[in-house]
A and B are shown apart, each in its own frame.
Chain A
Amino acid sequence: MAGSDQVNLIESKTVVPLNTWVLISNFKLAYNLLRRPDGTFNRHLAEFLDRKVPANANPVDGVFSFDVIIDRQTNLLSRVYRPAHAGSPSVTHLQNPVDGEIVPVIVFFHGGSFAHSSANSAIYDTLCRRLVGLCHAVVVSVNYRRAPENRHPCAYDDGWAALNWVNSRSWLKSKKDSKVHIFLAGDSSGGNIAHNVALRAVELGIDVLGNVLLNPMFGGTDRTESEKRLDGKYFVTVRDRDWYWRAFLPEGEDREHPACSPFGPRSKSLEGLSFPKSLVVVAGLDLIQDWQLKYAEGLKEAGQEVKLVYLEQATIGFYLLPNNNHFHTVMDEIAAFVNAECQ
């Protein structure tokens, strides 16, 4: 029922494997505990509950990782994931120049509705490792500052700092043209951050080759049809979405703010800009899909290149576990999108 807290548990159980249901339900319940009605967030409990993993410079399944400090002032860390080549990397080889004519570097922004998770969260460490193998890429996962302690535009500023850092690493330059071949990617709030960092990149002259937006988090003041229809049915409620926007957007702002609504009444047109091509993945059971579809439409209407992948039966978080068709479909799409330029 629209607006109600009653969730239709039985429906969500029929569309995902049981272990996925357990995983996402657990997140949902834990997150419910953390959001206080007054807009504050139980950060200590959030960190306690979050499963984290350390970086590992010893290759596991062909991928190794290490953490870097990008900005000491803001304590901005990122985790770098690289494909391992013959022999383990030693200390000195972590920043060896990338080996290839064209090596994509994906700057990844984890999800969590701007408030949850970290670059060292297990779910995102796993996802980033997959992306390395899939795209034969280096992945840089940004540990951006989160809401509500750090509101807009902190996350975007951190994303921008990371983009600059990546762009200026000599060891990330592809042999072909001595440039860093950069893609921006993210899920949920991370998708939103990717879009906004790309905007800044266009304005300030850093070349981004493509954006990968997985279930990106967008919204607006209207209640769309999908929000009404799907409210509470598949792990997410309109009410919790509202809470996260209130936590992220500057105090006093509403969801017409361009950060939330990039094609809404207050946003600038993208027409004529050399905005990167976008891969937008939308889950058919995600209640904010109308906003995501509007985003894809908006890009198209502004003359930008966009590929929309709509997965009718997918819920949020489908890309966290490799136990469903949607997962594999999307992984293939991402690989094709990133590697398109490597031919």
Chain B
Amino acid sequence: MKRSHQETSSVQEAPSISTNKKIKLKEEDDNMDDELLAALGYNVRSSDMADVAHKLEQLEMVLSNDDNAFNYNNTVHYNPSDLSVWAHTMLYPDLDPTRTTPSDECTTSNKRIRLGDSAYTESTTTRPVVLFYDSQETGVRLVQALVACAEAVQTENLSLAEALVKRVGSLAASQVGAMGKVATFFAEALARRIYKIHPSSVAAIDPSFEEILQMHFYDSTPYLKFAHFTANQAILEAVTTARVVHVIDLGINQGMQWPALMQALALRHGGPPSFRLTGVGHSEGIQQLGWKLAQLAQAIGVEFEFKALTVERLTDLEPEMFETRPESETVVVNSVFEFHTVLSQPGSIEKLFATVKAVKPVIITVVEQEANHNGVVFLERFNESLHYYSSLFDSLEDGVLLPSQDRVMSEAYIGRQILNVVATEGVDRTERHETLVQWRKRFGLAGFVPVNLGSDAFKQASLLLEIFGGGDGYRVEENDGSLMLAWQMRPIIATSAWKLRGGRG
């Protein structure tokens, strides 16, 4: 029987040929991850295979000799994709766990090879488009009409698009549940595009109102809670010995993330550090927020300093504005749903990265929507966002009965994002979400290396979800050192952490 693969009957590593990959040079081979294991989610360099096997053997012996092997339940695990590091930290739990790949050099060079070789940008960058169906006939017809309308817009067949958008409108009105609501927002967005209703009227909304919407979203879904929680965990782990912690929040909003961090700092073993918070935003309420946080800080016994930085856009930020005191303080940069906003202008992300680097943070915590809503082709963006927001709306629908105001506001909060993704272009289109894979490339190119979030954060985030009780469909997922919150197996947001290559921490 003909086979297109190599057959092995012996012990040695079997080279395998999978149909779509190019054949590489031998030298590159050894530095590359074993392809077969990589396809299953494990990164082990071919040249490390024997060493990893040896570590696993040792680990086996340690585990079986130790009657209290279940002490390992208290061990914090990091990045189970990297077997070499995982096995190492299991074997030597008392040593300071390296939470990034052991050799940053190799990581970069791997990434460079990967970026240059299109064979490696395979399926993880072909953005997963996921949809689930409620198996309702009308739901499917609605989706079909929406997509047909988007296609008409893409091909600039505006009269057809106009007819279809009206049809969508009437179908959506008769569709109950999440699908109907999502469709209504998408129809509105398409209509704005068709009738060329200028987005500037959408953008010119009172930022305080935007914050109120976000607060309702915070209250009624676990997404922001998860974001804040996991980011705070990473921050806490990065500042364990700091005497002064200076957090720069690139989007302070209502400051909902910080009371919990302050409480945790207050309870720190050995006493709390001083806490300095610089909040970047553009609403008038920031100063007042600072007062409220100061009151909390006083109540819990944490020395506190607050500064508001009001800027139009994040690229207006200059390092001097933060007035960091490098000799005495540990700087943290935090961004929840902010980084993607600067992608609307060329050169902006580079400027922001440069500003962040200049303040020399020990850690940068980043939470972003896990979706590619920044594609160049309108139709692709439309399809991607349709799926994403369908999932998001579905999660709102499910589970605990929400107070109607919370739900309506949350829907409005999400709806504004939909309008932005679908109906706007150019600098006004600020909701330029990208996936973790895409962000990893950007951060890597900018000179940052990942800081792995560990099993502790994972477990606590999972427990938080159970307590929140928002429905059975939420799951936390670990992804190569980052944590994602998924709804019905679809990742919705991702928390990652970064530090400067060669930096301390």
Nearest chain A CB to B55's CB is how many angstroms away? 10
Is B381 among interface residues, defined by CB-CB distance under 8 A? Answer: no
Quick check: is B197 within 8 A (CB to CB) of the other chain? Answer: no
CB distance B56 to A29 under 8 Å?
yes
Q: A269 on the interface (CB 8 Å rule)?
A: no
Q: Is B488 an interface residue (CB 8 A)?
A: yes
Closest to A75 in B: B472
User: Which residues from A are CB-within-8-Å of B434?
Assistant: none
Question: Whose C-beta in chain A lies nearest to the C-beta of B130?
Answer: A55
Residues of B within 8 A of A54 (CB): 128, 130, 486, 489-491
B134 touches A33 (CB 8 A): no
0/1 interface trace, chain B 125-155, chain A, CB 8 Å (1 if under)? 0111111111100001001100110000000
Candidates B19, B40, B64, B455; contact of A7 at CB < 8 Å: B64
Q: Determine if B26 is an interface residue (Cβ-Cβ < 8 Å).
A: no
* A273 surroundings in chain B (CB, below 8 A): none
Q: Let me know if B476 and A47 touch, CB within 8 A.
A: yes
Query: Which residues from chain B contact A79 at a C-beta distance below 8 Å?
Result: 489
Residues of B within 8 A of A77 (CB): 132, 488-489
Q: Indicate if A23 sits at the interface (CB-CB under 8 A).
A: yes
A67 near B488: Cβ-Cβ < 8 Å: yes
In B81-101, the 8 Å CB interface with A consists of 81, 83, 87
* Residues of chain B lying within 8 A (CB to CB) of residue A66: 130-132
Counting chain B residues whose Cβ lies within 8 A of the other chain, the interface size class is 35 or more
Q: Is the CB of A22 within 8 A of B490?
A: no
Residue in B14, B73, B87 whose CB lies within 8 Å of A33: B73
Could you tell me the distance between the alpha carbons of A34 and B9 in the complex, rounded to whole angstroms?
A: 33
Set of chain A residues within 8 Å of B44, measured between Cβ atoms: 19, 22
A17 touches B14 (CB 8 A): yes
Take A19-B13, A19-B44 as given contacts and tell me if A56 and B144 are in contact as well, using a CB distance cutoff of 8 Å: no
Residues of A within 8 A of B123 (CB): 56, 58, 60
Residues of A within 8 Å of B49, CB to CB, are: 18-19, 22
Q: Contact flags (1/0) for B372-409 with A, using CB distance below 8 Å?
A: 00000000000100110000000000100000000000
Known: A55-B128, A75-B472. A323 touches B14 (CB 8 A): yes
A91 adjacent to B386 (CB under 8 Å): yes
State the interface size on chain A (CB cutoff 8 A).
Answer: 65
**In the assembled complex, which residues on chain A have CB atoms less than 8 Å from the CB atom of B501?**
none
Chain B residue contacts of A36, Cβ below 8 A: 70, 73
Q: Is A90 in the interface zone, CB < 8 Å from B? A: yes
State whether B129 touches A53 (Cβ < 8 A).
no
1/0 per residue B3-41: CB within 8 Å of A? 101011101111010111000000000000010110111
Bound-complex Cα distance A18 to B11 (A) = 7
Task: Answer whether residue B313 sits at the interface, using C-beta atoms and an 8 A cutoff.
Answer: no
Question: Which segment of A213-221, A295-303, A324-332 sits at the interface?
Answer: A324-332
Task: Give every chain B residue within 8 A of A19 (Cβ-Cβ).
Answer: 13-14, 34, 36-37, 44, 49
Interface string of B154-178 (1 = CB under 8 A from A): 0000000000000000000000000
Q: Mark each residue of chain A from 64 to 95: 1 if its CB lies under 8 Å from any CB of chain B, else 0.
A: 00111100100101010000000000111011
* CB of B366 within 8 Å of the partner chain: no
Q: Given A19-B13, A68-B132, are A51 and B81 neighbors across the interface (CB < 8 Å)?
A: yes
Q: Please tell me if A268 contacts chain B, counting CB pairs below 8 Å.
A: no
Task: Report the bound CA distance from A34 to B1 in whole Å.
Answer: 43
In the complex, the answer to whether A123 meets B147 with C-beta atoms within 8 Å is: no
A120 to B132, CA, bound (A): 14
Residue of chain B at shortest CB distance from A35: B70
**Residues of the B chain whose Cβ atoms lie less than 8 Å from the Cβ of A9:** 57, 60
Which chain A residues border B383 with CB–CB below 8 Å?
90-91
Check if B80 sits within 8 Å of A122, measured CB to CB.
no
Quick one: which of A21-58 are within 8 Å of B by CB? 21-23, 25-26, 28-30, 32-33, 36-37, 42, 44-45, 47-49, 51-58
Rank and list the top 4 A-B pairs by shortest CB-CB distance, nearest first. Answer: A51-B41, A122-B41, A57-B129, A323-B14
With A49-B478, A51-B40 known, 16 other A-B pairs at CB within 8 A are: A5-B64, A6-B64, A9-B57, A17-B14, A19-B36, A48-B77, A54-B128, A57-B129, A58-B123, A67-B488, A67-B489, A69-B133, A90-B147, A119-B489, A126-B40, A322-B36
Q: List 5 A-B contacts (CB under 8 A).
A: A23-B42, A26-B87, A28-B60, A60-B122, A67-B489
